[in-house]
Amino acid sequence: MHDLELLNKEQQEAVLHTEGPLLILAGAGSGKTRVLTYRIAHLIEECEVYPWNILAITFTNKAAGEMRERVDRIVGQGAESIWVSTFHSTCVRILHRHIDRLGYDQKFTIYDTEDQKTVLKDVCRRLQIDTKLYKERTLLNVISHAKNEYISPVEYQSSVRGDFRQEKMAEVYLEYQKELKKNNALDFDDLLVKTVELFESCPDVLERYQDRFRYIMVDEYQDTNTVQFKLVSILAGKYQNLCVVGDDDQSIYRFRGANIENILNFEKVFPNTRVIKLEQNYRSTQNILDAANGVIQNNISRKEKALWTDNERGEPVVFKLLQSAYEEAEYVTGDIRKKLNSGAAYRDFAVLYRTNYQSRTFEEKFLMANIPYKIVGGVNFYSRKEIKDILAYLKTIDNGKDDLAIHRIINVPKRGIGAVTINKVQAFAESREISFFEALESVGEIPGIGKALLKIQPFVNLIHEWRLRLGELTLEKLINEILERTGYAGDLEAEGTDEAQARLDNIGELISKAVTYEKEAEHPVLGEFLEEVALVADIDSVADSDDRVLLMTLHSAKGLEFPYVYLAGMEDGIFPSYMSIAADDPLEEIEEERRLCYVGITRAMKELTMTAARIRMIRGENHYNNVSRFVREVPKELLGNRTYVPDAPKAQEPPRSSAYARAKEAFRTKTFDPKQFKVVKADRLDYGVGDRVSHIKFGEGTVLDVTEGGRDYEVKVEFDRAGVKKMFASFAKLKKIESL
């Protein structure tokens, strides 16, 4: 029997409350994973619930792995019957059994971001969509947002009628989904959408899983989006035994579609909810927690709670204002070196920042100081060309309907199969309404294919052979055969460069991954291996054994903890970002940024240091920003060693900001001094949303939005070269480009 005496009073209450909806508000470092695992053990041992009636869902593979390990340890026999997995993995398992009810083959492929982009490019080409006007990234975001909100292509089309730009996007969304269906493929968002569709359209399947999962637990509930909320609500609809664990103060993924209302309004959706707060922290010192409490209490949209600990009060929070970003990095490097000399290890340190570009100065200083480091969230291992090539071969062997994978490898390594031949095969496939690979199998029937037949046939035969031998080949052997028989490895070896060797090393790492999978899987199969690879997240690559300083964005740091944490770039305009401060609804945006700051602060166990720079160069220009409001929200009595660099001489300071920023100040300010800055608002603009305009500096672009303010029009433009910019009409002097 597990010992409940090891839990505090609130944790025990959460474990013992087993029937009906339960909301556990778990503050940072409050032992929520322990509560979940003890609760599972209690259900099995004391309530005699069958292990297979329990479903535990979390967000990352890393978190799911940790929970699985703890469940296995504490539950023992029968633990393997409990589903402990991510949302996406759970949906993959369900869809593999029943997706044929939605008209898909059960051997579907999961597309990653690069695959999505390739499909989208092809869709835009066919629809004659100008990707200068409609950026691929924008289109993918629109599609993803619609899916997160559980809005189908048809529903999206209906909702945007009358808006020319959005109608075009809806057309792309519709064709994109058709292309995925034709390829028997799903993107990540589809995994959830199709599972909800399955449950809504097949009551018998839904009832089967409702009866299977009578007790459902969801971790990190504050990060759920609308479709995830629908999935959980439908599954828990019959028995109502839904336990969700989360912290509204750590809801930081709004940009990915997370809906904080899911946790704030949980009691409204499930009226008989029991709410239990876990406020005792086991991670940090009280000074660090007081700093976190002091910052987060400035948010309005939150449930009241305050972290406390039995740990020592600890060192004061350190704030350092340096002259430049280089001095900031130099200070952090020197401080890490001092602590290393006092017995700390490299892995004890993390430098957290708001955006990726801030890592560069730290990288340079760490290299000079010979401090090993690792950047979390850089180029994903599985996004590298050589890895995607080998995975495309494996996908083709596993699922011949995945046109994208076959297009990628049909001439890799080069087989003399050119674009003309590929286009002929594609046209034949479309005319017969068959997959690209099926067209390759019938290549002899394609008019004018000529000598290309002799190049295509060996490729098709090779794929057929590997398919027939899947039962006898290990994944390691299969990958090695692909490398050898296609000449892929030979080409890289012949190249003889360091880069080619690095690619071979990367492929070697993929083979290691395959070997590990086969050792750990009960019944290893190629399709399952490809799913596991597709579901890997950036943070899963952080090995606990790595003895390096970690550099990462605040978003990547979620769920981690370190003895020593540095929050860098604590300046208004950096953190919170310019976009948040200047947003249409700045309150909501800044509250999200404040939650991100709270997450950063609560990563620290022993010591927290905040740093800022007086001057920071961004895109080649010096910016002079105020110290972040989040630093000013930390209670003054908690801040120690507040070392300030003397003020720079006034004569050396350039104007505080650009003309646009000064105008923005005028736009927002209630009392306006005309002597300070004169804004002349036009009676009307000769351009509107959707029009093409030109700017003297940024060139040509498309107007996305026009907002009329009291003293000027604020215009949002997506420029072809410079990206999205917000500006005031009086200063932008945009000129409409008349269409021919």
Q: 237 with 209: CB under 8 angstroms?
A: no
Q: Looking at residue 405, what DSSP letter applies?
A: H
Q: Give the closest residue to 523 by CA, choosing from 465, 471, 479.
A: 471
Geometric angle at alpha carbon 376, from 373 and 377, rounded to 5°: 145
Cα separation values, 398 from 179, 408, 436, 437, 508, Å: 19, 15, 15, 12, 21
Asked if 250 is an active-site residue, the reply is: yes
Cis preceding-peptide flag for 576 (omega within 30 of 0): yes
> Helices (H) and strands (E) in the chain — how many of each?
30, 21
Asked if 117 is an active-site residue, the reply is: no
Q: 2 with 42: CB under 8 angstroms?
A: yes
Q: Is 683 exposed, middle or buried (0-12, 13-18, 19+ CB in 10 A)?
A: exposed
Residues 195, 228, 250, 602: which is the catalytic one? 250
DSSP string, 14-50: HHH--SS-EEEEE-TTS-HHHHHHHHHHHHHHTS---
The HSE-up count of residue 152 (CA atoms within 13 Å, CB side) is 6
Q: Is 663 helix (H, G, I), strand (E, B) or coil?
A: helix
Cα separation values, 620 from 285, 362, 560, 569, Å: 40, 18, 33, 17
Residue 307 has φ and ψ, to the nearest 5°, of: -75, 145
Q: Within a 10 A sphere around the Cβ of 477, how many other Cβ atoms?
A: 13
Report strand pairing: 349-353 vs 562-567.
Answer: parallel
Q: Report how far Cα 662 is from the mean position of its chain's Cα atoms.
A: 34
Which helix (H) or strand (E) segment holds residue 174: the answer is: helix 164-182
**Going along 31-111, which residue ranges are E strands?**
54-58, 83-86, 109-111
Torsion of CA 134, 136, 138, 143, to 10 degrees: 110
Residues 115, 190, 219, 327: which is the catalytic one? 219
What is the rounded distance in angstroms from the CA atom of residue 382 to the CA atom of residue 386?
9
Contacts 24+ apart (CB under 8 A), 576-581: 576/628, 576/629, 576/630, 577/354, 577/355
Residues 10, 11, 33, 60: which is the catalytic one? 33
Q: Report how far Cα 730 is from the mean position of its chain's Cα atoms.
A: 38
Contacts with 577 (C-beta within 8 Å, 6 or more apart), sequence order: 354, 355, 593
DSSP string, 505-569: HHHHHHHHHHHHHHHH-SS--HHHHHHHHHT--GGGG--TT--SEEEEETTTTTT--EEEEEE--
Asked if 310 is an active-site residue, the reply is: no
Q: Is 430 helix (H, G, I), strand (E, B) or coil?
A: helix
Q: Is 132 helix (H, G, I), strand (E, B) or coil?
A: coil
Report strand pairing: 604-618 vs 621-624.
Answer: antiparallel
Contacts with 412 (C-beta within 8 Å, 6 or more apart), sequence order: 389, 488
Asked if 33 is an active-site residue, the reply is: yes
Asked if 467 is an active-site residue, the reply is: no
Token representation of residue 404? 């994208």
Q: Looking at residue 573, what DSSP letter applies?
A: B
Q: Is 557 exposed, middle or buried (0-12, 13-18, 19+ CB in 10 A)?
A: buried
Asked if 286 is an active-site residue, the reply is: no
Q: Give the closest residue to 10 by CA, choosing from 285, 248, 281.
A: 281
Give the active site residues: 32-33, 219-220, 250, 603
